[in-house]
Amino acid sequence: EPEVTQTPSHQVTQMGQEVILRCVPISNHLYFYWYRQILGQKVEFLVSFYNNEISEKSEIFDDQFSVERPDGSNFTLKIRSTKLEDSAMYFCASYAGLATDTQYFGPGTRLTVL
Amino acid sequence: DQQVKQNSPSLSVQEGRISILNCDYTNSMFDYFLWYKKYPAEGPTFLISISSIKDKNEDGRFTVFLNKSAKHLSLHIVPSQPGDSAVYFCAASAVRGGSNYKLTFGKGTLLTVNP
Q: pLDDT tens for residues A54-69? A: 999 999 999 999 999 9
Query: Going by C-beta distance under 8 Å and a sequence separation of 6 or more, which residues neighbour residue B8?
Result: B21, B22, B109
**Is the pLDDT score of A101 beyond 80?**
no
Which of A44, A50, A102 lies closest to B49 in CB terms? A102
- In chain B, % of residues over pLDDT 90: 90
Residue-level pLDDT at B1: 63
Band (pLDDT 50/70/90 cuts) for residue A92 is very high
Distance CA A45, CA B105 (A): 8
Distance CA A92, CA B99 (A): 16
**Residues of B in Cβ contact (< 8 Å) with A35:** 103, 105
Average pLDDT value over all residues in chain B? 94
Q: Using one digit for the tens of pLDDT, what is the confidence trace for A19-76?
A: 999 999 999 899 999 999 999 889 999 999 999 999 999 999 999 999 999 887 899 9
Chosen for mutation from B6, B53, B102 (greatest number of chain A CBs closer than 10 Å) is: B102
Is A78:A67 a contact under the CB 8 Å cutoff?
yes
**Residues of A in Cβ contact (< 8 Å) with B98:** 97
Beta strand spans in chain B (E): 4-5, 10-14, 19-25, 32-38, 45-51, 56-59, 62-67, 72-77, 86-93, 104-105, 109-114
3-state class (DSSP) for residue B84: helix
Band (pLDDT 50/70/90 cuts) for residue B98 is confident
User: For residue B84, which phi and psi values (nearest 5 degrees)?
Assistant: -80, -10
Band (pLDDT 50/70/90 cuts) for residue B40 is confident
Query: Going by C-beta distance under 8 Å and a sequence separation of 6 or more, which residues neighbour residue A91?
Result: A6, A34, A35, A36, A37, A43, A105, A106, A108, B43, B44
Q: How far is B15 from chain A (nearest CA, A)?
A: 27
